[in-house]
Structure 1
């Protein structure tokens, strides 16, 4: 059996990538450095004394259409599809390496999309209604902070 690739470093990178996108979109955000169950980042509106907890779920391989989530103690889940290549070499030589895709989804929507009968706690992107409306939708976090 092939040993599973360790993607912890890439997962940490995905969290910083999301922080970067939040900052670029004018939303103050910080990474949590202690293990907070249920979330990885905090977005804040200091003037309004409001914050949002954000969990980042990243997938290293291109074409992966699901992720595992067990803790719903957050306000939003950002699904970071890193698109670092296909699991198997394509015969046409295509690597699958492309720009990352980000989906900013309220945690409640993710929880509703999870199959309660799946013992792995998977959520398929196809089960998230109107998934394309969440792509790069950083505004949804801004609205929650105001």
Structure 2
């Protein structure tokens, strides 16, 4: 497998993608730029002041193992951004004939769902989507954030 891939730019991009998607959904949202270890974005209803702290976790590879690491649960939602930028983990002989690039997918989980799915024995604090009941039901589930902050558009 070699050295660890630097995906810092892609991770930053994932945060801005989620920010943009929330804005398109009509939610007021901003990026928490520094010193907010548990979350990356804040969505809010300006009329009530109610807010949702959102942590964005991204996975670069299309062939990732459908898991992500998380250690800080100081948030209300965790959005997994599966960026699908290409193959990284499969051996060349088992890859599809293309480069593996696909449209990104976004899963919006309440933090309690993520915390319950975390492996107690994994040193990285991994959460596998296989430990979440029907994870596809959380894909593009921006309404969960809307309901949390009380924005019933």
TM class by smaller structure: over 0.9
2:104 matches 1:103 = no
* Alignment-derived partner of residue 51 in structure 2: 51
- 8 Å contact from structure 2 (residues 87, 95) kept in 1: no
* Alignment-derived partner of residue 79 in structure 1: 80
* Alignment-derived partner of residue 137 in structure 2: 133
Q: Distance in 2 between matches of 1:3 and 1:35?
A: 28
For residues 81-128 of structure 1, the C-alpha deviation after alignment (integer angstroms, 9 at most, x for no partner) is: 000001144554221101000000000100000011111110111111
**RMSD across aligned C-alpha pairs, in angstroms?**
1.2
For residues 10-30 of structure 1, the C-alpha deviation after alignment (integer angstroms, 9 at most, x for no partner) is: 000000000000001111110
Matches within 5 A, 1:3-22: 3-22=3-22
- 8 Å contact from structure 2 (residues 84, 100) kept in 1: yes
Query: How many residue pairs are counted as aligned between the two chains?
Result: 146
Q: Distance in 2 between matches of 1:24 and 1:120?
A: 33
* Alignment-derived partner of residue 61 in structure 2: 61
Structure 1 84/139 Cα, relative in aligned 2: closer, same or farther at 3 Å? same
Q: Distance in 1 between matches of 2:146 and 2:63?
A: 29
Ranges in structure 1 where 5+ consecutive residues have no aligned partner? none
Q: Distance in 2 between matches of 1:22 and 1:39?
A: 15
Q: Distance in 1 between matches of 2:96 and 2:86?
A: 14
2:97 matches 1:93 = yes
For residues 42-92 of structure 1, the C-alpha deviation after alignment (integer angstroms, 9 at most, x for no partner) is: 001010110000000000000211100000000000000000001144554
Q: Distance in 1 between matches of 2:112 and 2:79?
A: 13
2:125 matches 1:121 = yes
Ranges in structure 2 where 5+ consecutive residues have no aligned partner? none
Q: Distance in 1 between matches of 2:34 and 2:96?
A: 44
